[in-house]
Amino acid sequence: MVAISRIAVAVKEKVAEVAIESAPAIAAVSAVPKIDWNRRPVVIIGTGLAGYHLAREFRKQDRETPLIMLTADDGRFYSKPMISTAFAKAKQPDQLANATAADMAEELQADIRIFSKVTEIDADLQILKVGEDTIEYGKLVLASGAKCTEAPLTGDGLSRVYSVNNLLDYTRFRTSLVGKKKILIIGAGLIGSEYANDMIQSGFMIEVVEPMPSVLGTLLPEQASLAVQESLEQAGVQYHFGTVVEKVDKSGNGIKATLANGTVIEADAVLSAIGVRPDLTLANLTKLDTNRGILTDRSLQTSAQNIYALGDCAEVDGNLLFYVAPLIESARVLGKVLNDQQAEVHYGVMPVMIKTTLCPVVVSPPPRDAEGEWHVTVDSCNVLARFITSEGKLLGFALTGDATKEKDALSAETRPLMVSV
């Protein structure tokens, strides 16, 4: 095991004393003379886009309250959506990271502890435990993100099945593909389609297995889905719809996958991309109210006092959105709330740009269980689809190809996700 130094800066009478001690799997960096350690700290669990965006918003207004960030990974700052385009852009994993944990600790005047797992949270006493360490907090934020959904597979080749949820996962996956050519992707949803698009353009042979009858089936109407599928097929992607992978066995240095319909696919490795779900581990540990995600109001307050949630783990006033735009809006609002200001999120229209560059897609999905119909115009691979209610209200849209140019115009017409109350 590699020992990672923990660096703490203590300030007394304007004189900084630096102490360095060996601490396996923990790195903590920096406080500066302005930090008032007599205050209980704000603690953020998670250093993904949600955690770091929030930390920046908090520090815009408060440079004195201690800020502690805890993460189960190495704490590098990077944009997770960029991972699914990295093969075609010839980006190595280290090139995707914009800053190290040490860089971010210095910028944020924060104590950032990497490879740290929270084992206990007492909401009444406002303390949490990381291993043998106990941390008292003034306010706690859960920004723990989402976990990959695991495919129910059998067989002796499961060690060659990968899923990618962070930069460390991507590093393992990319390293495993050195000298390999053929990849089986499980799932033709947003992530599976982005990886198929990225990897087919990078010289890999790609086969995709999807239980639904089309790509992006939960997001797009049939005509738009077909436009994406045809573009990827023309580039060489092979699809197997209406079935699932049941078994993955080793076959030489690769795998042999058996599908429910009896088809057998030989490949070098498998990427499981069947979706994500909120990580509710800490919420359940703390006995917070949950549904699909951690339930919060529009101020990101959970069911426990002084505990908040944002990002992929948070279900904000009934909205569970795995996209960057709502995350940034939530971080902006919660930065104010942590500074004792009144603020609420008001999600507007937040179209999602899906990175299938062979057939560009922009979609603003209608609300769950919304009543209405898709009205679709097709011009070759250019699809313009509008989801309209019986009263003529526009609740969502899906655009492919050149029709993506209509994004701004349709966004202006579409009903916002959250109506002001």
157 and 264 together in one domain: yes
The domain tally of the chain equals 3
138 and 157 together in one domain: no
Q: Which residues contact 263 (CB under 8 A, 6 or more apart)?
A: 240, 243
Examine residue 53 and state whether it is found in any structural domain, yes or no: yes
Cα angle 40, 53, 135; round to 5: 25
Examine residue 194 and state whether it is found in any structural domain, yes or no: yes
What is the model's pLDDT at position 418?
84
- Cα distance between residue 281 and residue 304, in whole Å: 16
116 and 243 together in one domain: no
- Cα distance between residue 290 and residue 164, in whole Å: 25
Three-state secondary structure call for residue 308:
strand
pLDDT surpassing 50 at residue 179: yes
CATH label of the domain that carries residue 406: 3.30.390.120
What is the model's pLDDT at position 421?
55
Which of 154, 157, 186, 150 is CA-nearest to residue 254? Answer: 157
143 and 23 together in one domain: yes
Provide the domain limits for residue 122: 3-147+277-337
Task: Tell me 221's DSSP state.
Answer: -
Q: Which amino acid is at 280?
A: L
Instruction: Give the model's confidence band at 24: pLDDT under 50 very low, under 70 low, under 90 confident, else very high.
Output: very low
- Cα distance between residue 330 and residue 301, in whole Å: 11
Cα angle 335, 346, 283; round to 5: 60
Residue 77: beta bridge partners? Answer: 99
12 and 140 together in one domain: yes
73 and 181 together in one domain: no
What is the model's pLDDT at position 420?
65
17 and 125 together in one domain: yes
Q: Which of these three, 274, 302, 318, is where a domain ends?
A: 274
What is the model's pLDDT at position 15?
30
What is the model's pLDDT at position 380?
84
Q: Which whole number is the average pLDDT over 313-333?
A: 94
Examine residue 188 and state whether it is found in any structural domain, yes or no: yes
pLDDT digits (tens, 9 = 90+) for 46-89: 999 999 999 999 999 999 999 999 999 999 999 998 999 999 88
Distance from the Cα of residue 195 to its chain's centroid? 15
- Cα distance between residue 293 and residue 145, in whole Å: 10
142 and 283 together in one domain: yes
pLDDT surpassing 80 at residue 185: yes
What is the model's pLDDT at position 311?
96
Asked which of 10-24, 211-225, 374-388 is least confident by mean pLDDT, the reply is: 10-24
Examine residue 418 and state whether it is found in any structural domain, yes or no: no
CATH label of the domain that carries residue 68: 3.50.50.60
Q: Which whole number is the average pLDDT over 245-252?
A: 97
239 and 308 together in one domain: no
What is the model's pLDDT at position 410?
97
pLDDT surpassing 60 at residue 7: no
pLDDT surpassing 80 at residue 373: yes
Read off φ and ψ for residue 114, nearest 5 degrees. Answer: -95, 160
9 and 125 together in one domain: yes
- Half-sphere exposure (CA, 13 Å, Cβ side) for 142? 36
Q: Which whole number is the average pLDDT over 217-221?
A: 94
pLDDT surpassing 50 at residue 28: no
189 and 264 together in one domain: yes
Note whether 22 and 5 are within 8 A (CB): yes
Instruction: Give the model's confidence band at 229: pLDDT under 50 very low, under 70 low, under 90 confident, else very high.
Output: very high
* Average confidence score pLDDT of the chain: 90
pLDDT digits (tens, 9 = 90+) for 302-312: 999 999 999 99
pLDDT surpassing 70 at residue 17: no
Q: How far is CA 360 from CA 227, 280, 328, 351, 398, in A?
A: 10, 33, 23, 13, 11
Examine residue 355 and state whether it is found in any structural domain, yes or no: no
Across 195-329, the runs of DSSP E, i.e. the strands, are: 205-210, 238-241, 245-251, 254-259, 264-267, 269-272, 276-278, 294-296, 307-309, 314-316
239 and 143 together in one domain: no
Q: Which whole number is the average pLDDT over 11-38?
A: 47
